[in-house]
A and B are shown apart, each in its own frame.
Chain A
Amino acid sequence: MSLGYLFGGGVGAEPHGIELYEASPLVRQLYEEISGWTGLTAEQILRGELPEGRERRQSAGTIREAALAMAVHDRLAEAGLRPDVVGGLSLGAMTASCLAGALDRRSLFTMLARTAGAPGPRPSAAGEGMALAFVQAEDARSSPPWQGLPDVHLAGDFGPVADGSRRILMLAGHRTVIERLAAESAPGTIVPLPGRDIAVHSPLRKPFRDFIAPHVARMPFTAPRIPLLSCLERGELKTADEVREMFERNPTDPISLVDIYEGMRSHDVRLGLVMGPAIPEGILAFPFPVVHVENPDHIELAISTAYDLGIPFSRNDSGTGER
């Protein structure tokens, strides 16, 4: 009977974590530490306008998102909950690695801050974009409308929606092609994601991968102390090298939430806590109950639900979150 922590992907364009920050000295201390590692003030991390420039904006957004996820983790740990298994999507996979003990926090946030210096697109390059594709569940394996389009790539699989009628996939590619695809598809089938101007988890992200690879190669990974699930294929990352490889491939390879929650199911997860707002509530079909944790009320709900479902509270420090 296990407790799983799920970390979403994406960037925090909206202000996140303010209530937790204001309510908890522990969280304020965490943000001060992150501030020291990243050069951003706590205010900038929490609610500041994201900076101009594609990569600087992306970097600050990922720091905001990872900071909130870590704050939620620390508050839950303070209240007696620690995960038995963790996994995350994209940025969430990196945060999960950190909280699984495969990487120290300073190294993670230093890396996220460093990505601000990644080269932007060439002026002549086509604009990038992303979209969600809502496909009929039974058609998930048949030819999708974007098949054969060279500039659109399958970037992610979020699995079936709650009522099982559809499946949500993520596309990345050239923005104009994605917008044309959306216009030519049935209404509501292809939904471009507003404000997402980087085609993450696709081959178009190769320059970023090349930029960050030397840094990732020097990062001090260790073997995870608790099960860490990959979002790039179904399975557990057990060694330092496997975690490092996940970091390397993460920018260009498609991600799968299904791989994570099926992995959690195989670990007998009975309650999943979604850390932060990156995975919306009530949209997806998880094979176990989930509680979405974004603010102090949710912390209490998570702990109460864990008690209700018979999840034992933590009695030792064998868990997660080395600083």
Chain B
Amino acid sequence: MWCAQHPWEPAEGRATDPGVLVAKWLGADIDEWTRRVVRLTFDPDKGSPYWLNRRDRLDFDPYDITRHQDLTAFGPFPLADLRDVDPVDLVPRAVRRPLAGRVWDTGGTTGAPCRVHYTSAMLHHRAVWRRWSFVREGFAAGRGWLQATPTGPHLIGHGAWEVADLHAGLVYAIDMDSRWVKRLIREGRPADVERYTGHLLEQITDALDQGGIDYLNTTPALFAALCRHSPEHVAALEGVRLSGTQINTAMHRDFRAALDGGICGISYGNTFGNAACLGVPENGGPIPYMPNYPQVTMAVVRKDDWRSVVAPGANGQVRLTVLHDDLFLPNILERDQATRHLDAEWPCDGVADVRPLQIATTAPEGLY
């Protein structure tokens, strides 16, 4: 349900010019934005039922939150709640009931998935950022795409709509069950992983053989497999857009070479929020990403102290905060680690060298 009260939304309707919207968002004062979202969320009449229920258990008044950095007062967001509560209750009552639209999953490779509802405003926000990245990376509008990502409950699969609706694309698709891959890995079944990967690659090459596909949207892992399995199909592409699993500069260099001049665009994120890559360092350094500010902010914090932001260039756990008008999720401690990255173009911290979180022996004295 589209809400006209969103301050960045022009009165004439749903704007899609990513340049205009992103420039406006990047100019937002994060403290003012924070105050507004917190007030919307905790509005006694129109706020989020989930948060209003939690309000009694807070040892502070949310209306006293005046700065973005004060959001640590909420503590780490309990992701288990997203497995149990009705996703509708996360959304402020200001959004008309009954809610219509999709509920999306995140996680679920081990244990039950977390679920959140995306209002149309949130979907629009995500799509505008993706289109902003497409344009910046050089993906032309009005082309043929193959979407080879998880679909179903996974928001990444919504990219097919984003390409079609906001980038005038004609989209083919195959399905990928990422949870099944992770399960096979967890169960130590490498032959089955290879077999399932082969099953996906057959579908991809079949679609590519039909012709009319310029760009591929998939995960780095699957694209690496495609490069090995069918380099001629990769070389014939005009570009690939990658997200969903980790990628580094060596892989990016390989992919660029395999594409033979084609575009290789990347982004980082999950169902809670995304970050755009402003460019891959030519010198081989870590790949940086900047969050879709101000609705999404990221910090890199110490693994043993989630409140402490590490120094620029230092490594730590990714802490993500969602500040949509329709969804407030402060201090999500991600299952990723990264180095803290600063960019003069961006009003908030970014992340670089992103990879799955690892907790292991860290004392230097353990070197010998």
Contact = CB atoms under 8 A, between A and B. Distances in A.
10 contacts: A168-B367, A193-B368, A270-B250, A270-B251, A277-B366, A280-B367, A303-B185, A304-B182, A307-B181, A312-B228
A292 B358 contact: yes
A287 B185 CA distance: 26
A196 interface: yes
A313 B228 CA distance: 13
A200 B360 CA distance: 25
Nearest to A304: B185
Contacts of A163: 311, 313-314
B362 A280 contact: yes
B367 A80 contact: no
Nearest to B110: A300
A87 interface: no
Contacts of B313: 163
Interface of A: 1, 8-10, 78-81, 89-90, 130, 132, 156, 158, 162-163, 168, 170, 191, 193-194, 196, 200, 270, 277-283, 288-289, 291-292, 294, 298, 300-301, 303-305, 307-310, 312-315
B1 to A, nearest CB: 37
A280 B220 contact: no
Nearest to B361: A277
A10 B367 contact: yes
A313 B254 CA distance: 19
A191 B250 CA distance: 35
B361 A191 contact: no
Given A308-B221, A308-B245, A312-B228, A281 B368 contact: no
A9 B368 contact: yes
Q: Which 9 pairs from chain A and chain B are nearest by CB? A: A80-B190, A310-B224, A313-B190, A281-B360, A292-B360, A79-B188, A308-B245, A277-B361, A10-B368
B258 to A, nearest CB: 11
Given A168-B367, A288-B250, A307 B362 contact: no
B211 interface: no
B365 interface: yes
A79 B190 contact: yes
Contacts of A200: 368
B281 to A, nearest CB: 14
Interface of B: 181-182, 185-186, 188, 190-191, 193-194, 220-221, 224-225, 227-228, 245-246, 248, 250-251, 254, 311, 313-315, 339, 355-356, 358-368
A197 B350 CA distance: 44
B220 A168 contact: no
A158 B220 CA distance: 31
Contacts of B191: 80, 313
Contact of B368 (A170, A304, A307, A312): A170
A80 B251 CA distance: 22
Contacts of B245: 308
A162 B356 contact: no
Given A280-B360, A307-B185, A309-B221, 8 more contacts: A193-B365, A279-B367, A280-B363, A288-B250, A300-B185, A308-B220, A309-B251, A315-B194
B166 to A, nearest CB: 28
Contact of A280 (B224, B251, B254, B366): B366
A312 B250 CA distance: 16
A118 B364 CA distance: 29
Contacts of B365: 132, 191, 193-194
A292 B188 CA distance: 18
A289 B355 contact: yes
Contacts of B355: 289, 305
A314 B356 CA distance: 22
A105 B181 CA distance: 34
A191 B364 CA distance: 10
Contact of B358 (A156, A281, A283): A281
A310 B245 CA distance: 11
A115 to B, nearest CB: 17
Given A289-B355, A312-B228, A313-B190, A283 B185 contact: no
B356 A310 contact: no
B328 to A, nearest CB: 31
A291 B220 CA distance: 18
Contacts of A279: 366-367
B367 A310 contact: no
Nearest to A200: B368
Candidate in A130, A279, A280 with the most chain B CB atoms within 10 angstroms: A280
Q: Most B CB atoms within 10 A — which of A89, A163, A288, A310?
A: A310
A294 B360 contact: yes
B149 to A, nearest CB: 14
Most buried by B among A79, A298, A309, A312: A309
